[in-house]
Amino acid sequence: VFARAGYQTHLYDRDPAQVEKAVQWLAEDLELDRQAGLLSADQTTALRSRVTVHDELGEALAGAGYVQESGPEQLDLKQSLYAELDRAADPSTILGSSTSALDMTEIAAGLPGARRCIVAHPVNPPHVIPAVEVLPGKQTDPAVVERTCTFLASVGQKPVRMNFYVHGFLLNRMQAALIREAVHLAESGVAEVDAIDAVIRDGIGLRWALMGPFGCANTNADGGVREYFTRYRQAYLNLMNGLGPTPSFDPALIEQLGEATDAMVNNAPRAEIRRWRDKMVTKIRALKKENPGL
Amino acid sequence: VFARAGYQTHLYDRDPAQVEKAVQWLAEDLELDRQAGLLSADQTTALRSRVTVHDELGEALAGAGYVQESGPEQLDLKQSLYAELDRAADPSTILGSSTSALDMTEIAAGLPGARRCIVAHPVNPPHVIPAVEVLPGKQTDPAVVERTCTFLASVGQKPVRMNFYVHGFLLNRMQAALIREAVHLAESGVAEVDAIDAVIRDGIGLRWALMGPFGCANTNADGGVREYFTRYRQAYLNLMNGLGPTPSFDPALIEQLGEATDAMVNNAPRAEIRRWRDKMVTKIRALKKENPGL
């Protein structure tokens, strides 16, 4: 994302093998983009040259305005990583974390530079899906929130601000709510996995690419959200109170879901499905850009 | 949908004013399609001429292979309506219901023609969103399920089969699960309405237009659904067990959501947003047709 947007991008990992993998993955991904005509050979070379690998953290941090930390999701590891980053980085550098689970209030607790530490949780793969959940810790300077959002928007991402920490943030909580009910429906035999997916991909999912639940509700009644939730209040209360419980996700259930999903996709190679998915998301984003709605 | 697919389509309602409204709405919608270049003037005229209004139910049913009943969502009304339809329609005619809430087992209980009664629940507007939930009652002939699905597919819809009745069917249950968590997040102040919608429309919703929760899970790990749900089992159990409760939907909450949604859409006229939404869904469906994935 950063290199595509024209920024010099420094890579560092304590384990050089991880950096090697990242660089190789980047080369493969750029090659696919080149083959698909999304990037010219020159652009690919230029982009690749903006990404440099560094053996020393201090070297990687030199001159950095923004750091995207993506270490393991363990609080003690993140804390020691942030202590190290805070010591080594220029005081003006923003230290953003890709964490999807941890609270920056705890990660940066007691650090002299806690005010410049912030969560910026992207969705995989970030150069395809633009949303980034931006979440300050209690010590984070509001100006750092602003600067992070401005910077992320400048590289083509869609920063989404949260007011305070909640487990799972926004996206994963709503995704978990949907998956919980989807798995419940499959497990109870109401419908097959393919049918459950079909009402999303050929149904409401076509709208969710354009608007979230509130935007959809707004268009579902002439009087908007107020009329919609007032008219269907009791129907929604009944539905919501009757949703399924958290499934077991025991091995037999997971195997059942795995078999049904394999059949649904005709055992197509996942790498191919992913490439199709990413190409299509890119095309949908282009459609939205050409036809701005809201 | 039926007239667009080339079928002679007969309209009947006990209340002639309702039919008048339907015909007027159809004319307006066709005119918008003509202005948008989606239909030629000739196609518009031909399509309109395939839709005829009838004063008598028997006349409307004459020669019909398929009926799409869309009466009020009250069991006693549906029961008397189906008794009337079953008496008046040729025994070979399929009697499909648009109900989103009722069970055909109860609607058609005791009718001589219960075997040809079935739920075929479309999504609004059906000529834009293709999914139709198809759900037999206990007495429905399996051959009628087949014929209904074949017919709906032949008019460009995506029939989605359910095995048995469950309150809310598939789509509305999953939608309710998502809305429940979205409203919980807004009510608890974790994020603004616009942010909650943004992680859908600029995040996971971009995928849900292409694949449902199982299709997404399949692409989220190299080992597919099995690896994904095994690796993240505990994370999902924690998340799912920590989701918000059913909100009150009391007037103050609905007003708060209404104000925030109005601000999100800059008070844009809902009719315009709907037109944009429908145009964009049509374009996304065209993209998917041009780039078949699964």
pLDDT in tens, A90-120: 999 999 999 999 999 999 999 999 999 999 9
Q: With a cut of 70, list the residues of chain B below it in pLDDT.
A: 294
**A&B contacts, CB < 8 Å:** 395
Bridge partners, B132 (sequence order): B122, B159
Find chain A residues with C-beta within 8 A of B164's C-beta.
189-190
Q: Quote the CA–CA distance of A193 and B198 in Å, as a whole number.
A: 27
Q: Verify cis geometry, omega within 30 degrees of 0, for the bond prior to A126.
A: no
Where does residue B267 rank: exposed (0-12), middle (13-18), buried (19+ CB within 10 A)?
A: exposed
Kindly indicate the confidence band of residue A179, based on its pLDDT and cuts at 50, 70 and 90: very high
- Please, what sign has the CA dihedral across residues B40, B128, B196, B255? positive
Model pTM score: 0.95
Asked if A160 lies within 8 A of B202 by C-beta distance, the reply is: yes
Asked if B203 lies within 8 A of A293 by C-beta distance, the reply is: no
Q: What is the pLDDT of residue A186?
A: 98
Q: What is the pLDDT of residue A47?
A: 94
Taking only residues 88 to 147 of chain B, the set having a beta carbon closer than 8 angstroms to any beta carbon of chain A reads 101, 123-124, 129-131, 133
Q: Is B290 on the interface with A (CB under 8 A)?
A: no
Q: Is A187 on the interface with B (CB under 8 A)?
A: no
Find chain A residues with C-beta within 8 A of B207's C-beta.
129, 205, 277, 281
Helix (H) or strand (E) segment spanning residue B159: strand B158-161
Contact A129, A123 (CB under 8 A): yes
What number of other Cβ atoms are within 10 A of residue A285's Cβ?
Answer: 18
Does pLDDT of A294 surpass 80? no
Q: Is A36 on the interface with B (CB under 8 A)?
A: no
Which ipTM score applies to this complex? 0.96
Q: What is the pLDDT of residue B37?
A: 87
Q: What is the pLDDT of residue A128?
A: 95
Mean per-residue pLDDT, A73-87: 97
Asked if A200 lies within 8 A of B211 by C-beta distance, the reply is: yes
Nearest by CB: A199 against B131, B198, B273: B131
Task: Give the phi and the psi of residue A139 in degrees, each rounded to 5.
Answer: -90, -5
| pLDDT digits 0-9 by tens, A235-291 | 999 999 999 999 999 999 999 999 999 999 999 999 999 999 999 999 999 999 999
Contact B87, B95 (CB under 8 A): no
* Amino acid in the structure at residue B69: E
Helices (H), chain A: 16-35, 41-49, 57-61, 75-88, 104-107, 142-154, 171-187, 193-199, 205-208, 213-219, 224-231, 233-241, 251-264, 270-290
| pLDDT digits 0-9 by tens, B191-206 | 999 999 999 999 999 9
Does pLDDT of A34 surpass 70? yes
Nearest by CB: A204 against B175, B219, B276: B175
What count of Cα atoms within 13 Å lies in the side-chain half-sphere of residue A71? 21
Asked if B204 lies within 8 A of A123 by C-beta distance, the reply is: yes
Q: Where are the beta strands (DSSP E) in B60-111?
A: 66-69, 94-97
Does pLDDT of A66 surpass 90? yes
Q: Is A158 on the interface with B (CB under 8 A)?
A: yes
Q: What is the pLDDT of residue B294?
A: 57
Contact B99, B132 (CB under 8 A): no
The C-alpha torsion from B13 through B16 and B18 to B22, rounded to 10°, is 90
Q: Is A197 on the interface with B (CB under 8 A)?
A: yes
Q: Which two tokens stand for residue A34?
A: 């080149």
Find chain A residues with C-beta within 8 A of B189's C-beta.
163-164
| pLDDT digits 0-9 by tens, A196-217 | 999 999 999 999 999 999 999 9
